[in-house]
Amino acid sequence: MTRAGKPHALFSVSDKTGVVDFARTVAANGFVILSTGGTAKALRDGGIEVVDVADYTGYPEMMDGRLKTLHPMVHGGLLARRDDQAHVAAMEEHGMASIDLVVVNLYPFEATVQKPDVTRDAAIEQIDIGGPTMLRSAAKNHASVTVVCDPTDYERVAAAIDAGDVPETLRRDLARKVFAHTASYDAAIARWLAKNDAGEAFPDVWITSMRRERELRYGENPHQRAAFYVDPSARPDTIAGARFLGSNKEISYNNLLDLDAALALIREFTPDIAACAILKHNNPCGAGLGSNLAIAFRNALSGDPVSAFGSIVSTNVPVDRLAANEIAKPGNFVEALIAPAVDDDALEILRSAKFGKNLRILVTGPIGADTDTQVVRAVAGGLLVQDSDTARVRPELEYVTTRRPDGEEMRDLRFAWAICKHVRSNAIVLAKADTIVGVGAGQMSRVDSVRIATHKAEDRSQGSVLASDAFFPFPDGIELAAERGVRAVIQPGGSRKDDEVIAAADRAGVAMVFTGRRHFRH
| Cα–Cα distance measured from residue 479 to residue 510, given in angstroms and rounded to the nearest whole number | 10
Active site annotation includes 140: yes
Cβ–Cβ < 8 Å for 321, 346: yes
Q: Which of 16, 140, 249, 497 is flagged as catalytic?
A: 140
- In DSSP notation, 145-191 reads -EEE--GGGHHHHHHHHHHT---HHHHHHHHHHHHHHHHHHHHHHHH
Q: Which of 16, 177, 249, 281 is flagged as catalytic?
A: 281
* φ/ψ of residue 80, rounded to 5: -60, 130
* Closest of 508, 517, 403, 395 to residue 467, by C-alpha: 517
Instruction: Spell out the residues 6+ positions from residue 335 whose beta carbon is closer than 8 angstroms to its own.
Output: 255, 258, 310, 311, 312, 355, 358, 359, 360
Cα of first residue to Cα of last residue in the chain, in angstroms, is 66
Cβ–Cβ < 8 Å for 12, 134: yes
| Cα–Cα distance measured from residue 9 to residue 30, given in angstroms and rounded to the nearest whole number | 10
Instruction: Spell out the residues 6+ positions from residue 48 whose beta carbon is closer than 8 angstroms to its own.
Output: 20, 23, 24, 27, 33
Instruction: Spell out the residues 6+ positions from residue 248 whose beta carbon is closer than 8 angstroms to its own.
Output: 357, 358
Q: What is the dihedral of CA 91, 95, 99, 102, to 10 degrees?
A: -120
At residue 395, the 3 state secondary structure works out as coil
Active site annotation includes 177: no
Cβ–Cβ < 8 Å for 274, 297: no
Q: Which residues are catalytic?
A: 140, 281
